[in-house]
Structure 1
Amino acid sequence: MKIQGKMFLWLSLFLLAVAITYGLWSKEPVGTTGLFLAFGLSIMIGYYLAFTARRVDTGAQDNKEADVADDAGELGFFSPHSWQPLALGLGGAFAFMGVALGWWLVYVSAPLLIIGLCGWVFEYYHGENRTQ
């Protein structure tokens, strides 16, 4: 995971140089803003991957002499029967469609977003204060 973090951090430096150069030469605000936003997204992903790589064991991708089969196995826990990502995805799609079609659609999709997000966050919540 270390190499992915480094790749995104190098990409962020490249995007910053391109954004500054593009902004100075073109004086076009939309493309410049998009490039600066891509820089910000790239640096956030790079920082997350670099931060996470320090806390987890080294993977097969960090070993130069590893085979493809060395990376096989369990990758993590994924909820097999959850409908919450579908509700969250539909709510997000309708909310973003509301920007193009009309702001009323954002207000209509907000409950679907809230239900999907709360359902996904509290899906495996088990504790003494759990409500039935």
Structure 2
Amino acid sequence: MKPEALLFAGVAAFFLITDAFYIWLAREPAGAAALAVSFGMAAVISFFCAVNYRRKGERPEDRGGAKVHERTGTVDFFPPQSGYPVLVAFGVALLALGLVYGLWVFLIGVGVTGGSVFGMVFQFAQREL
């Protein structure tokens, strides 16, 4: 993950420098905000890759002389089934409808979305590693 972290750090630096020049030359808030958000997204991806590299170490794909069999074994945990994604979608739909029909529908959507995202995140928190 180290090459990916460096790649996205370079992308984030590019957006940061571009944003600074854009703010200085254009003085237009919409483009500056878009470049700032682009910098933030690239920085988050770079941070994620760097943390994974520190936590898991070098992968076989990162070495030039690696063999295919070095990557065998358990890849990760994949949940068999979950009803939470449907609840998240329903909650987001309620949020969108709440923008049209009123605050009370929006607040119900916030509750449904928040609860279902919490459930989806912690559904398998007590599983055996």
Give the TM-score taking structure 2 as reference length. Answer: 0.76
Distance 1:37 1:53, change over 3 A: same
1:74 Cα deviation (Å)?
3.8
Provide the C-alpha distance between the structure 2 equivalents of 1:67 and 1:90, rounded to a whole number of angstroms. 46
Which residue number corresponds to residue 43 of structure 1? 43
1:121 Cα deviation (Å)?
3.5
Which residue number corresponds to residue 129 of structure 1? none
Deviations 1:39-65 (A, max 9, x none): 122112212211220120321331134
Give the TM-score taking structure 1 as reference length. Answer: 0.75
1:115 Cα deviation (Å)?
2.6
Which residue number corresponds to residue 34 of structure 2? 34
- Name the SS of the counterpart of 1:79 in structure 2: coil
After alignment, is 102-111 or 47-56 more displaced? Answer: 102-111
- Name the SS of the counterpart of 1:58 in structure 2: coil
Which residue number corresponds to residue 5 of structure 1? 5
* RMSD, aligned CA: 2.8
Which residue number corresponds to residue 19 of structure 1? 19
Provide the C-alpha distance between the structure 2 equivalents of 1:120 and 1:91, rounded to a whole number of angstroms. 13
Question: Number of aligned pairs?
Answer: 126
Deviations 1:44-103 (A, max 9, x none): 2212211220120321331134467765654311211111123224423543x3586466
Unpaired runs of at least 5, structure 2:
none
For 1:118, the aligned partner's letter is F
Deviations 1:99-129 (A, max 9, x none): 8646634323112213312322342355xxx
Q: Percent of counterpart pairs with the same letter?
A: 24
